[in-house]
Chain A
Amino acid sequence: MDGLTYALDAVTTPSTVLAAAGGVLWGILGGALPGLSPSIAMALLLPFTFDMSPLAAIILLTGVYIGAEYGGSIPAILIRTPGTNAAAATVIDGYTLHQQGRGGEALGLSLVAGTIAGLVGLVCLVLLTAPLSALALYFKPPAYFALAFLGLSIIAALSEGSLIKGLIMGVIGLMVATVGTDPLSGVTRFTFGEPDLLGGIDYIFVMLGVFAVAELMSKVAEKDGVEGGAISKAVARVKLPGLRKLWDLRRAQAIGTTVGIIEGPIPGAGGTVAAFLSYNEAKRWSKTPEKFGKGSEEGVVAPEAANNAVTSSALIPTLSFGIPGSNSMAILLGGLLIHGIQPGPMLLTSRPDLVYGLFGGLFMSNLFMLIFGLLVLGPAIWLVNRPKPYLTAGIFMVVLSGIYVINQSLFDFWIVLIAGIIGYGMRLLKFPVLPLILGIVLGYMVESNYRRSLLLTNGEHRVFLENPLSLGLLICAGLIIGLAILSEIRRFRRPGIAAHG
């Protein structure tokens, strides 16, 4: 049998079709609940895969992964709460669109953009496994450092008009990231003897605080104030974008998809970095960059395309090296090992049925994502249209429930509340939120790889310029920072525009 036959076989066998459907539905629901990351949603189903055939098991788990990466955008758009880490970039324009009464459109865009990107990613997975897995091998510590640094340089671009405030938040984010175990020596830093801080502060806690809790605080504060920023009208219903609209958004879609496919196989980079990078690139190449942050459709399409494209290409190192690049992939690997399947360079030759069957399963999962996405959005919109007191209470309760699963410690809830107070203060004083998130997300990666690089060269900084990948990425970062400083100086010289901060 050849590959296509195996894939067709998977698409027509009831058990695998059911696995894909069930996995995607569960994934969307899990991803939509803040605190349940894709990896946790997968782990919850892991025990049920023991009795399945290996193919159905792996299709179920990847289905959950695909569904969850999409599901995260639903609360990001509707309640300013990223359901998964990779949906953080979607919050900016998605929630703004929702406030403008265009939440239904934003949800439709995110769903369609995600599906298209997932399918394109799948094609790349099938056709380009070899070159993309080589990409994962090209990344050595200097290149990882440069990639993380490029991610950090977006801070400069994202804090237009308040560069100093943006940088301050970026630095604080990096400070949060230094809490925990030192990446090289293993000494503990800033934990104050608190075992709960040993593993560091997970950024989902900070995100829930500065996004969701701060938003709720503003909502209850508004009671005796002006109704500023409240959603004017109830969202009518989901509106899928037409072909014409998609064509207009093709640039953002292409950028998101490409960035996602490239980032996926690089271990440790993952959907979050891809989403932020593509958001920034989409803005740079957009014909209407001024709309970003004020309800840009491209600002939803790019990050959502990116985090769904990642779901396909992230499988590459897991399948071809047996090395998981993220938590989700680690669970998938565990699921395979339990069935006695050892992923690695030999997998394609020893179990072609499994690999091509999985490709078929991924295809189904992406289609199911479109179908179930539509089904789930109706109830989701109904929920957020409940009267404000109920909605506020419900969201607060969700925030104070799900994350318990991560460390099973009440300590994390305190972090969320504190982050909420800080987030509220940041809103008042117009400190940008995204630099903080970027700092926390990238802090570990930038520090550990900088120090590893120097360890490898006995302290010689030359290595960052000698490694071509690192050099290229650093030049990009330099351009981003240079342009941002230039525009900041220009802004400062013309007080008329500067005052808004």
Chain B
Amino acid sequence: MHKATLAVSAALFVLAVAYWFAADAIPASRLAGQVGADGLPKLLGLALGVLSLLLAGQTLFEMRRAAAAGQGEDKGEGGDRLPGSWREHLRALGLIGIGVGYLLLLPHLGYIVSAGLLLAAVATYAGLKPSWATLLFAVGGGVVFYLIFVKILQIPLPAGFWPGLLR
């Protein structure tokens, strides 16, 4: 946990620096008032920089204290390990992967088909054994979502290439 926190503080520090430079590039306008459009952003960049260093300092301090206190107590506090395993985190990211696939397919296959595919993929991914029930869930779910969002709520979600076939 501590090591990961240190890595995150380093990343946040980099973000702070990058943000500050991006803020510096905001064009100055006479209309922006006394503080300017870059005023708050620069302050935020600075604040994040300082806070990320503080976080690193605090973490190092806790690490030293934990080391001094000895290994046994450290475990008792549940301290120095990230919750979960790397395999779990990869599984978690897999869900995002499915989401990315959905977003890439959505403009081409249209909402109703993409929705069905997403439902099937996520349900299987979350532990459902592929079966007729999965298929039914995907087809039925796709239609239900289509009816709710596109037909009842009139949200113009992408239709995909299907309407082109009808012409």
Contact = CB atoms under 8 A, between A and B. Distances in A.
B37 interface: yes
A495 B65 contact: yes
Contacts of A428: 4, 82-84, 89
Interface in A212-250: 213, 216-225, 228
B123 A402 contact: no
Contacts of A495: 65
Contacts of A217: 92-93, 95-96
A495 B62 CA distance: 9
A168 B56 CA distance: 12
Given A175-B41, A404-B157, A389 B126 contact: yes
Nearest to B156: A408
Interface in B17-45: 19, 22-23, 26-27, 29-35, 37-41, 44
B94 A220 contact: yes
Contact of A184 (B8, B33, B125, B157): B33
B122 interface: yes
A187 B27 contact: yes
B118 A400 contact: yes
B22 to A, nearest CB: 6
A500 interface: yes
Contacts of B111: 401
Decide if the interface of chain A is mainly helix, strand, loop or mixed: helix
A392 B123 contact: yes
A389 B129 CA distance: 10
Contacts of B27: 187
A168 B118 contact: no
Contacts of A420: 96, 99
Interface in B115-141: 115, 118-128, 137, 141
Interface string A169-187: 0011011001000101111
B154 A44 contact: yes
Contacts of A429: 1, 4-5, 8, 82
A454 B33 contact: yes
Given A168-B52, A171-B44, A397-B141, A187 B37 contact: yes
Contact of A401 (B1, B92, B157): B157
Given A168-B51, A187-B37, A499-B79, A397 B92 contact: no
A355 to B, nearest CB: 31
B40 A388 contact: no
Decide if the interface of chain B is mainly helix, strand, loop or mixed: helix
Contacts of A393: 118-123, 126, 137, 141
A189 B37 contact: yes
A478 B37 CA distance: 26
Contacts of B141: 393-394, 397
Contacts of A219: 126
Given A175-B44, A459-B34, A218 B118 contact: no
Contact of B153 (A36, A174, A413, A454): A36
Contacts of A223: 91, 126-127
A225 B85 contact: yes
Given A44-B154, A428-B82, A429-B1, A187 B29 contact: yes
Given A184-B32, A429-B5, A222 B88 contact: yes
Contacts of B88: 221-222, 224-225
Given A187-B32, A428-B4, A499-B62, A397 B115 contact: yes
Interface in A387-418: 387-390, 392-394, 396-397, 400-402, 404-405, 408, 410, 413-414, 417
A186 B28 CA distance: 11
B26 A450 contact: no
B100 interface: yes
A402 B148 CA distance: 10
A209 B131 CA distance: 30
Contacts of B149: 401-402, 404
A460 to B, nearest CB: 9
B155 A404 contact: yes
Contacts of A413: 99, 103
B44 A397 contact: no
Contacts of A216: 95
A171 B4 contact: no
A222 B83 CA distance: 11
Interface string B48-63: 1001101100100010
B96 A405 contact: no
A178 B43 CA distance: 12
B105 to A, nearest CB: 11
B12 interface: yes
A396 B118 CA distance: 9
A447 interface: yes
A174 B44 contact: yes
A349 interface: no
29 contacts: A168-B52, A175-B44, A182-B26, A182-B37, A213-B96, A217-B95, A221-B89, A225-B85, A388-B127, A397-B118, A401-B111, A401-B115, A401-B157, A405-B153, A405-B155, A410-B103, A410-B106, A414-B103, A428-B84, A429-B82, A450-B35, A451-B35, A451-B39, A455-B34, A459-B34, A498-B62, A499-B66, A499-B77, A500-B77
Given A221-B89, A225-B84, 8 more contacts: A165-B55, A182-B29, A185-B30, A186-B29, A219-B126, A223-B126, A392-B123, A451-B32
